Structure 1
């Protein structure tokens, strides 16, 4: 079973490292790392992680129901309850992330079921999200190909903008934008994708029928099976998007009926916005920092992307538990099939090879938000000030 969380002792995480030996002076290769023994998933640990995440979320929402109808003084206890809900919601997203890598449980079926459940808790369809995240892993450090919530302009494209457009670009990547951005990412975007994708499908089917008449009407099932929307890539993604939206919208209605619409939405929006901001922040700082590997497609290296384009975080143990040890990020990028509950041990086993990897303290997180441009000539991430002042 999963060991007791170390945050009970109040210690801070110290990433293990040791000096490189003379034998390691040659370039490090992926086969130098000991990864295979840590790839095995354990369904008992995974089930316990699911229970100790989903169970507290249910209990905390029960506390919201009790406190919502309590005296005014007792209602202040909603604040620590909501704070815990934020942390457990972030943990549920981290577990969903493992399901997307097919690493939390030992079988694809169990990962799909758990991933769907956790996706509903987070308001986001797990299957389409995981496909996009897998693309990130396949191209980490290749800023020419990256697409996602932290996609960057090149320095040349930024300099071609008007002063107002430059200001808007910088403002859109300010740390405070994690709050509306996180809310949109979890709660609005999946609903919008379904609506826009459905509109595309209706337009395509209507055009087919208008071209082919009654024969086109009979061909609609086949046309639907082969339909490709710009908002999903496969029929499986479409099914997951529809099922997630149905489950999420139903849960919103049921929770509103139980707690009252005002209390539910005030608490729910707070929790989801803050939890999304947390994991978006962690994702950002683990790839955008001074000296991060910033290649184009030509000459890009998967190994360099993992070792030089992924920071390892020094955080209090309580945050490590809630983030499922994603602090050990270089190992995660070297082998995404290692489950979260083995990342720490794998990092320790390979510590000498990871000594040169970038380490980041919480106090340094804010500095990472300066690096929001990609210099495709110098192959590095730069700040807006550097873009304007360097020759």
Structure 2
């Protein structure tokens, strides 16, 4: 993509970079109210059947993901035009989703500024090693990476670690405002949890809230994972890295059924979001449909996205993700080359 084309593309998207107060309020109402209703129904159903409770928990988890999209837009200051309104609503939705607004917003901004940049990995993204890095890594680092990329660790243990540990502590070097926001979020979460435990008992609280946050967290990590982990993605060293190419080639279009698209707040149009984070979630589909170049981006579906589970390492030579199984072939070929190399 040429510099001219990149500027033209961003120019086409610019008119959509403004929120609509009416649409934002409607989204808050049709998201938060159903979430609270399904939470209450999950609690009430404990007296009938825990399977019914889990069914309501799944529905509540879906709306928790939608609440997270509101939180996410607020961190980009795209949900409201007023920055203070974004911070207030972002902090409150962060309490509901168990995420600290300022801390996560900082890390996510770094993610947007460095996504697909091989020289600036490590903040707000998923750990990705290149083939060469993996081959040169010591045994313990290889083991740690394999454990990290294991689906059980990433999607089952990951949400627990993220919500209970990572989100509860400030990052090193955080400014006072960010630290205070994390403390406020933690206090509000503890206060609401204590109030609910007092009202319904700790056992009922855990049986309802536990599966909701776990399911939402697992699906949330999955969404983030598949939107940046697909075979022909985009990764470049800093000297060759381009923001627009990273957005439209390194972020996928996750083509979901309409119901799931609505529940996930159109985040499947991730290429549009990375190109312009100031576009509110309820305008992402419109941008995609009205901007021709954005319709020719990497597209994945529910079925094809499952193949992303096998992608583990970035092959810089062939510009694609490969599996650990394919990595073994690289290692064998490397050994054969070393063994057959003629002595000088």
**Do they fold alike, i.e. is TM over 0.5?**
yes
CA-CA distance at 1:171 after TM superposition: 3.2
Aligned 1:250-329 pairs, distance under 5 A = 250-329=191-270
Residue 132 of structure 2: aligned partner: 156
| 2:145 paired residue among 169, 173, 178 | 169
What is the SS of the residue equivalent to 1:369? Answer: helix
| 1:369 paired residue among 309, 317, 323 | 309
Does residue 333 of the first structure (1) align with residue 310 of the second (2)? no
Change over 3 Å in CA distance of 1:388–1:172 after alignment to 2: same
Does residue 51 of the first structure (1) align with residue 29 of the second (2)? yes
Residue 20 of structure 2: aligned partner: 42
Higher helix share goes to which structure? 2
CA-CA distance at 1:233 after TM superposition: 1.8
Query: Aligned residues, how many?
Result: 328
Check whether the contact 1:324–1:340 (CA below 8 A) recurs between aligned residues: yes
Residue 340 of structure 2: aligned partner: none
Cα distance between partner residues in 2 of 1:164 and 1:111: 43
Change over 3 Å in CA distance of 1:336–1:181 after alignment to 2: same
Does residue 354 of the first structure (1) align with residue 331 of the second (2)? no
Cα distance between partner residues in 1 of 2:40 and 2:83: 32
The structure with the largest alpha-carbon Rg is 1
What is the SS of the residue equivalent to 2:117? Answer: coil
CA-CA distance at 1:360 after TM superposition: 0.2
Change over 3 Å in CA distance of 1:97–1:320 after alignment to 2: same
What is the SS of the residue equivalent to 1:29? Answer: helix
When normalised by structure 1's length, the TM-score is 0.78
Does residue 88 of the first structure (1) align with residue 63 of the second (2)? yes
Aligned 1:225-244 pairs, distance under 5 A = 230-244=171-185
Residue 220 of structure 1: aligned partner: none
Check whether the contact 2:233–2:319 (CA below 8 A) recurs between aligned residues: no
CA-CA distance at 1:78 after TM superposition: 1.1
Residue 322 of structure 2: aligned partner: 382
Cα distance between partner residues in 2 of 1:158 and 1:25: 32
Q: Deviations over 1:236-273 (max 9, x none)?
A: 11011110110111112112122211121122121111
Check whether the contact 2:20–2:80 (CA below 8 A) recurs between aligned residues: yes
Residue 185 of structure 1: aligned partner: 162
Cα distance between partner residues in 2 of 1:242 and 1:165: 33
Change over 3 Å in CA distance of 1:27–1:359 after alignment to 2: farther
Does residue 128 of the first structure (1) align with residue 68 of the second (2)? no
Q: Which has the higher contact order (CA 8 A, sep 6+)?
A: 1
Check whether the contact 2:34–2:63 (CA below 8 A) recurs between aligned residues: yes
Cα distance between partner residues in 2 of 1:52 and 1:311: 27
What is the SS of the residue equivalent to 1:381? Answer: strand
Check whether the contact 1:180–1:273 (CA below 8 A) recurs between aligned residues: no
Check whether the contact 1:296–1:379 (CA below 8 A) recurs between aligned residues: no
When normalised by structure 2's length, the TM-score is 0.88
What is the SS of the residue equivalent to 1:51? Answer: helix
Q: Deviations over 1:143-183 (max 9, x none)?
A: 32122351112323322445675355223212232121012
Cα distance between partner residues in 2 of 1:26 and 1:112: 34
Check whether the contact 1:99–1:112 (CA below 8 A) recurs between aligned residues: yes
Cα distance between partner residues in 2 of 1:315 and 1:304: 23
Structure 1 regions of 5+ residues with no counterpart?
1-23, 195-229
Which stretch of structure 1 is more off in the superposition, 360-369 or 111-120? 360-369
Cα distance between partner residues in 2 of 1:345 and 1:339: 11
What is the SS of the residue equivalent to 2:5? Answer: coil
Q: Deviations over 1:81-118 (max 9, x none)?
A: 11111101111111111101100112111111110011
Cα distance between partner residues in 2 of 1:254 and 1:277: 26
Check whether the contact 1:144–1:296 (CA below 8 A) recurs between aligned residues: yes
Task: Provide the alpha-carbon RMSD of the alignment.
Answer: 2.2
